[in-house]
Structure 1
């Protein structure tokens, strides 16, 4: 899907001559044109990771997976061809699909005004505001701009002018996160906090900055290996009572990651979300593409289990708590232009699921002072879609890597049915 020549030109520091023209043509299409596209012959989906694997301890990688080829079974069936020009219309789920799947259509129409969802990522996306405007305009969402006070971009120190260096991989993650926050809570304000690097220390400082600026909902779509430093990271960066902090569970299949393992956050696993003839109209299974690609889950080696988590297979913290769509084959539409041909891309990964759940928390309303919102779903298990099939790896068939009735590692307690499970 991504133009290989464009990537080469970008890396060489030369201009992308086709960007402006293709961006204009992408915006000229309307949703009615989307429906007119013919169905394509199904082909396996292939992906590319937006961010590089962490090179050292304490460094995080974003969890965005961009579809490069294959058939996306989403709002319309569309086949992505490798290295072809970017699609002029979306091939993944849009806001109306996600809201319908999770029983949130009415809530999104009436709630969220005055709430702020913070997106924490590394490095700068120079086109963040412009790409956000393109996504929201296409889907008919209210404008969310710097000028109208809805959108704000700052560094980890709160500066609006002294921003980190730009990075095209993390810019993909930023576009994905901003679009998903918009899709789930179109009336919410959005705060983007950009860390100066992908270290846990700088990302953690960005979480603190988001909270200090008033955000009650903070989405983190990144992760890395656990370490003995995690307990200090917990107390320094994630212990924010009264704030819902969501974190992607990981995209490499069975195995624990940090900061999803933090006892203070809502760890968000991933599902494959498909339309169906059921009463709900949708079905979900554990997302697993291969032995090396699927939602994360498992037992933390360092973080203690909170009192509300009752499973017995882990002596310490178990990942995940809840889940949402993440399978690239049932991926979401994202508009992106930095370092690529401007236009629509399809993304999966638990990078999708984290801002989706942050949006649900925002629709549910401001958490009470002193509360830990990660506990909320455990008090409302009947208000979640229980995901009971699929596996993300090998663990002897236990609930830690297999979808089961009730709680399981890959999907936690399940996916949203409205906002009840995310209310204190």
Structure 2
């Protein structure tokens, strides 16, 4: 149900008890510093003066402005998924979201002016006014945000930097600015893809690689419609030239129609090609599992830095073209929490939910603990732990004659564990405690039972939860093709009967164990697609 802005404002005000369509008030005069959601990096504990970054070190930032009327946004989301509410199945258009929840022009311009005065350049504002992008240096950052930057390296040994003080803004901007993302590049997202040892069958009976076109049979789509009317997005980074070539080779080799594709470059165009296998895995399995999509949009970030991905997430939401967006990426949720990207991305995902969008997120390939190798613990990957996304874990898939489903056990490296910081969404009725429980569902992820795709023109076999997430994304795109008003997938997955799922009852990821019914390691298990469709 789409509603015009004027009628939607009146309806929401009546149902939710708040007037949400008036512009937000501008912040007052600066009198002191105000804290943001961007905290000091963990390197602060050991940093010395000798570690300080040169003042001329280039820095790119995303100043994240606060969604206005945040409680009303969450109330709207709850009402839109409540069958007894008059707002049931209501969704917003981007213009509605801007009118009701974006900061005011005065607030945005105050941030722009402040950055310019501080020496930042290339300042731009996102269409929904939530992000102000800018280029500067470590010296400008220290002056503008009362934080020092130190030299560092990321996990891959590349030069990086990190802020060692909590990030602040003048009090006049305190009611407007949520976080400043980009003041650390030590911690960032990574892909969740794993190569198989060989292409084809492993010694284990029934565990073999699969052409993406066989997954609809394996997961029993039956008469479920294809996703031919649904646009699907992929969050990616770098140069998409080769993934597009490989996608064409895949469709040609399998006698499939050419895919209508679009590349949306977010920020400065990236040149990285190391992610080609990942974007191949995502795109070819979305096309194979969905039976075809209306359009496949690659939202190509400049890098996998948190600031670049925040901008890519926001572009996918502000565009509101893709109703399902795949994200085969993640990082330790503690890192995302500390640098402010969790706070930033959560409000972006929430706006996506209000527009009926679903982000399908890999839970990770590090077992129950995305944050450290040892000792093993139970801290999940972000953004899988966000309460505004669907978290997809992974299995080892066994098949029989004619690509029939024969069984699934938990893949030992699949992520899944309770969040340490994210609140439990109201729709999540399983698990314990008050924090978000990961995962929601699971699909094939073991590289040995993974997907045989075309990478750089040749066959290759890959798995990881980078496979399970696009399999769910394609599945939900099929659901939307026949049930266009469903909107965000999360609540529906918890309301359907258990007969919808292949329950995963064995296997461990180090800290969590698959058991009968819902569990952290595998969620509800994998979907029997035709059963899911008939129960929505």
TM class by smaller structure: 0.7 to 0.9
State the match for 2:366 in structure 1: 252
Report the alpha carbon displacement of residue 287 of structure 1 after superposing the two structures with TM. 0.4
Assess, with a 3 A threshold, how the Cα gap between structure 1 residues 177 and 305 changes in structure 2: closer, same or farther. same
User: Is structure 2 residue 184 aligned with structure 1 residue 67?
Assistant: no
Partners of 1:379 and 1:52 in 2: CA distance? 42
User: Is structure 2 residue 518 aligned with structure 1 residue 377?
Assistant: no
Report the alpha carbon displacement of residue 280 of structure 1 after superposing the two structures with TM. 6.2
Partners of 1:365 and 1:74 in 2: CA distance? 38
User: Is structure 2 residue 310 aligned with structure 1 residue 204?
Assistant: yes
Assess, with a 3 A threshold, how the Cα gap between structure 1 residues 310 and 213 changes in structure 2: closer, same or farther. closer
Partners of 1:105 and 1:417 in 2: CA distance? 9
1:231 to 337, 343, 368: 343
User: Is structure 2 residue 280 aligned with structure 1 residue 156?
Assistant: no
1:324 to 437, 443, 448: 443
Partners of 2:245 and 2:344 in 1: CA distance? 37
Report the alpha carbon displacement of residue 299 of structure 1 after superposing the two structures with TM. 1.1
Q: Is the 8 A contact 2:421 2:435 kept in 1?
A: yes
Report the alpha carbon displacement of residue 370 of structure 1 after superposing the two structures with TM. 8.8
Q: Is the 8 A contact 1:223 1:260 kept in 2?
A: yes
Partners of 1:76 and 1:376 in 2: CA distance? 35
Q: What secondary structure is seen at the aligned counterpart in 2 of 1:272?
A: strand
Assess, with a 3 A threshold, how the Cα gap between structure 1 residues 237 and 364 changes in structure 2: closer, same or farther. closer
The one-character-per-residue Cα deviations of 1:152-207 (angstroms, maximum 9, x if unpaired) are: 112125xxxx6311222x11111111111111113202111110010223223212
State the match for 1:171 in structure 2: 276
1:215 to 322, 325, 334: 322
State the match for 2:409 in structure 1: 285
State the match for 2:434 in structure 1: 315
Partners of 2:217 and 2:288 in 1: CA distance? 11
State the match for 2:54 in structure 1: none
Report the alpha carbon displacement of residue 376 of structure 1 after superposing the two structures with TM. 1.2
Partners of 2:315 and 2:441 in 1: CA distance? 25
Q: What secondary structure is seen at the aligned counterpart in 2 of 1:119?
A: strand
Give the alignment's TM-score, normalised by structure 1: 0.72
State the match for 1:99 in structure 2: 216
The one-character-per-residue Cα deviations of 1:336-392 (angstroms, maximum 9, x if unpaired) are: 11xxxx301000100001111000000001676694321111011331111111111
Q: Is the 8 A contact 1:260 1:319 kept in 2?
A: yes
State the match for 1:350 in structure 2: 465
Higher Cα radius of gyration: 2
State the match for 2:452 in structure 1: 333
Partners of 2:204 and 2:310 in 1: CA distance? 36
1:240 to 345, 352, 355: 352
Q: Is the 8 A contact 1:263 1:303 kept in 2?
A: yes
Q: What secondary structure is seen at the aligned counterpart in 1 of 2:466?
A: helix
Deviates more, 1:343-352 or 1:56-65: 56-65
How many pairs are equivalent?
335
Q: CA RMSD in A?
A: 2.9
Report the alpha carbon displacement of residue 302 of structure 1 after superposing the two structures with TM. 1.4
Report the alpha carbon displacement of residue 112 of structure 1 after superposing the two structures with TM. 1.3
State the match for 2:524 in structure 1: 413
Report the alpha carbon displacement of residue 420 of structure 1 after superposing the two structures with TM. 4.9
Partners of 2:467 and 2:306 in 1: CA distance? 20
State the match for 1:402 in structure 2: 513
The one-character-per-residue Cα deviations of 1:290-333 (angstroms, maximum 9, x if unpaired) are: xxxx1001011111001122234343001100010000111111
Report the alpha carbon displacement of residue 418 of structure 1 after superposing the two structures with TM. 1.2
Q: Is the 8 A contact 2:216 2:290 kept in 1?
A: no
Give the alignment's TM-score, normalised by structure 2: 0.58
Report the alpha carbon displacement of residue 71 of structure 1 after superposing the two structures with TM. 6.4
The one-character-per-residue Cα deviations of 1:240-267 (angstroms, maximum 9, x if unpaired) are: 1201110000001112010000000000
Partners of 1:324 and 1:303 in 2: CA distance? 24
State the match for 1:391 in structure 2: 508
Which of 1 and 2 has higher RCO (CA within 8 Å, sep 6+)?
1
Q: What secondary structure is seen at the aligned counterpart in 1 of 2:420?
A: coil
The one-character-per-residue Cα deviations of 1:18-64 (angstroms, maximum 9, x if unpaired) are: xxxxxxxxxxxxxxxxxxxxxxxxxxxxxxxxx95997555100011
Q: Is the 8 A contact 1:60 1:199 kept in 2?
A: yes
Assess, with a 3 A threshold, how the Cα gap between structure 1 residues 278 and 173 changes in structure 2: closer, same or farther. closer
Partners of 1:53 and 1:173 in 2: CA distance? 21
Q: Is the 8 A contact 1:151 1:190 kept in 2?
A: yes
Partners of 1:303 and 1:57 in 2: CA distance? 22
Q: Is the 8 A contact 1:269 1:350 kept in 2?
A: yes
State the match for 1:13 in structure 2: none
* Stretches of structure 1 lacking an aligned partner (at least 5 in a row): 1-50, 79-90, 145-149, 289-293, 395-400
Assess, with a 3 A threshold, how the Cα gap between structure 1 residues 370 and 94 changes in structure 2: closer, same or farther. closer
Report the alpha carbon displacement of residue 409 of structure 1 after superposing the two structures with TM. 1.1
